[in-house]
Chains A and B, each alone.
Chain A
Amino acid sequence: MRDQALLKVENLKVYYPVKKKSITSVRQYVRAADGVSFEVYEGEVFGLVGESGCGKSTTGKAIVRLIKPTEGNILFEGKDIFHKSDKKAYRDFNKQIQLIFQDPYSSLDPQFTVGRIIAEPLVVNGMTDAGQRKERVLELMKEVGLRPDHYDKYPHEFSGGQRQRIGVARSLALNPRLLVCDEPVSALDVSIQAQILNLMKELQLAHQLTYIFISHNLSVVKHICDRIAVMYLGHIVEIAGKEELFSHPSHPYTKALLEAIPIPDPDAACMQETLEGDVPSPINPPEGCCFHTRCRYACDECKKKVPELHEVAPGHFSACHLHQNQNKNGGNHGNQTNRSGK
């Protein structure tokens, strides 16, 4: 259908060791990502959604090589990003994938001026001519909506939205192809959030960028993403195109997530059926389907067997025994109420 995937994540597992309670106890691991696989195509915005602790940020960090996976591969244009021949190969690769951080307050060095912050990636990557560098920085600043007189200011002189613009300019400095955006707007107020989201959309069109957009806010994800993966306890439970996911959510967790969002309309029906309980600890995740402890459709099979992602509609994958069985029996999966139709 489409060309080769720009980025391919295969069975990614990231386990963080937990500090042992005593010398004799068994080493335990937090299974932050536990078998995550997906593909991202050139020019699309791929959303990773889930609640805290679901492994979405861990996955993002592994993609930019900030953490080493315990198992699994990440291929960028078909080449493994963790096994490069030499330093130069890594450096070339680093230019292509950049990260936008969540917190615009802690991700900018308070001792650097804005100009210096944005120039940093250029310095590291060998743009030695200061005049040329400044020119590039000013160009970037203009692009993200910062004024040239901001060049010599320090981060503390800016508001959250402005700082996030600085962060965006810095990530764009090396003309990356893929941007991993880790909750780029969740620290911002709504009116500012809209500005940054619009800016990101404009930049994407202008530079044919590919985004991996990590967020817990489904409304934001729906606004900006083309395809969305829903994560729960280190697993991807559902992947689908935006329209399909919001009109025909298949996995019970996705449905519950959609149901839990308060809609800004007093007459809209939502939050009627809420999930019970808490997310289980990723140290000892439940056997079988990770969601069965909170799922209202859980059956015996769910407690034993881990469901695999399977296609419920073209391009729409869901990891749930319920639908697998329904499909086998010729049942349909489209029996959900359509919330986006209003």
Chain B
Amino acid sequence: MSEKLLEVRNLRTVFHTEEGEMPAVDGVSFRLDSGEVLAIVGESGCGKSVTSLSILKLIPSPGEIVAGEILYKGEDLLKKNTKEMNQIRGEEISMIFQEPMTSLNPVFPIGHQIMESLIYHGEKDKAKAKARAIEMLRLVGFSTPEKAISYFPSQLSGGMRQRVMIAMALTCEPQILIADEPTTALDVTIQAQILRLLKELKEKTGAAIIMITHDLGIVAQIAHNVMVMYAGEAVEYAPVRELYKNPLHPYTKGLLQSIPKINEDHDTLYNIPGMVPGPKDYPKGCRFCPRCEYAGERCEREKPPYVKRADGHRVRCWLYEGGEANDA
């Protein structure tokens, strides 16, 4: 189970703008084992989507991956050229995008779009590819997949389109599936269907999933491990139960407290004061420092290290210096 599949080391992706280099992802490291579901959580602008796009080297200009390593089965993806990457995209690592409305091509039937990646990755027999497309559509819950392959995206509802996206992503049986907010655009009842489908498919295909989301509810229900990002950095990493029971970083604590919960009652919600800084206003020390209630002088001056504590819990905060428990 715990075979290392992907390791990201010190990834740094910047966007070159007129105002200088904007680090969207700034020194992020994590690993993904086979069969694992890793959730990357954070608010908008924290770099979670850029992290996932970096793994597939899909960063659009003026963005650039300037440092770090992305080791997939021991090979550094950043050293691969476009041709080699194209072999990996879809076949080894594939992605489900956030917007099912805009990520499908409106002028091709969905069957064609599913077959495309199969044919690209070496399937010569069109009939076989078609059979596979039908099989995939059945797998994601289309009741009449033989008919459905000739549908155009405009004939489908949002939930159905997202199923097509999932079918496309899974046709080549990738080792890693990156799902970037796969349910954000969907209604809750449809969201529940899609999440259940992802869980089932994971059992069937054994793919590892990187789930990018801002919804801590989804994370709790689907992930094994969670990485919390803030302002381009990973601030906390822990197994899911550990994170919800024992959040360490003040930002994670704040996030967990600020969501209204359906099973609890609060008069006023906790809220984290202020807002997420943009890349050009990142503080010198800890990036969360201006919004942190525990912030001290040291937090303003120096950047806290990303320390590893017992049982795999990692945190970037001066409160937990030295790696071992010294709770302030």
Contact = CB atoms under 8 A, between A and B. Distances in A.
Interface of A: 51-52, 159, 161-162, 189-195, 197-198, 201, 216, 218-220, 222-224, 246, 256-268, 270-271, 274-276, 278-279, 339-340, 342
Q: Which of A219, A224, A276 has the most CB of B within 10 A?
A: A219
Nearest to A260: B192
Interface string B225-259: 00000000000000011001000000000111011
Given A190-B43, A190-B258, A192-B275, A268 B266 contact: no
A143 B157 CA distance: 42
Nearest to A269: B221
Interface in B252-283: 254-256, 258-266, 268-273, 275-276
Interface in B64-105: none
Contact of A191 (B240, B244, B272): B272
Contact of B261 (A52, A159, A216, A263): A263
B106 interface: no
A195 B244 CA distance: 22
B127 interface: no
B269 A197 contact: yes
Given A191-B254, A191-B272, A197-B269, A263 B221 contact: yes
A251 to B, nearest CB: 13
Contact of B260 (A222, A258, A268, A340): A222
A253 to B, nearest CB: 9
Interface stretch (B5-13, B167-175, B211-219): B211-219
Contacts of B269: 194, 197-198, 223
A266 B221 contact: yes
B220 interface: yes
Contact of B275 (A51, A159, A220): A159
Given A190-B258, A260-B189, A268-B220, 17 more contacts: A52-B187, A161-B275, A189-B44, A190-B214, A192-B43, A197-B260, A197-B269, A218-B188, A218-B262, A246-B262, A260-B191, A264-B217, A265-B244, A267-B241, A275-B189, A276-B193, A339-B263
B262 A51 contact: no
Contacts of A216: 187-188
B262 A263 contact: yes
A190 B262 contact: no
A66 B221 CA distance: 40
A262 B218 CA distance: 5
Number of chain B interface residues as a range: 35 or more
A275 B192 contact: yes
Nearest to B259: A190
A51 B261 CA distance: 19
A198 B260 CA distance: 11
B216 A264 contact: yes
Interface in B140-194: 157, 159-160, 187-193
A219 B43 CA distance: 18
Nearest to A259: B192
Contacts of A258: 262
Given A51-B188, A190-B259, A223 B266 contact: yes
Contacts of A52: 187
B280 to A, nearest CB: 14
12 contacts: A159-B275, A162-B275, A190-B214, A191-B275, A194-B259, A198-B268, A264-B219, A268-B220, A274-B192, A275-B189, A275-B193, A340-B262
B301 interface: no
Contacts of B215: 262
B148 to A, nearest CB: 14
A232 to B, nearest CB: 10
Nearest to B213: A262
A276 B255 CA distance: 32
B192 A264 contact: no
Contact of B264 (A189, A198, A224, A342): A342
Nearest to A53: B187
B196 interface: yes
B195 interface: yes
A192 B255 CA distance: 10
Contacts of B189: 51, 256-257, 260, 274-275
B255 A191 contact: yes
Given A189-B276, A216-B188, A278-B157, A266 B262 contact: no
A190 B221 contact: no
6 nearest A-B residue pairs (beta carbon):
A262-B217, A223-B260, A194-B258, A51-B187, A260-B192, A194-B271
A266 B260 contact: no
Contacts of B255: 190-191
Contacts of B264: 342
A197 B187 CA distance: 21
A132 B237 CA distance: 54
Nearest to B143: A277
Contacts of A192: 43, 275
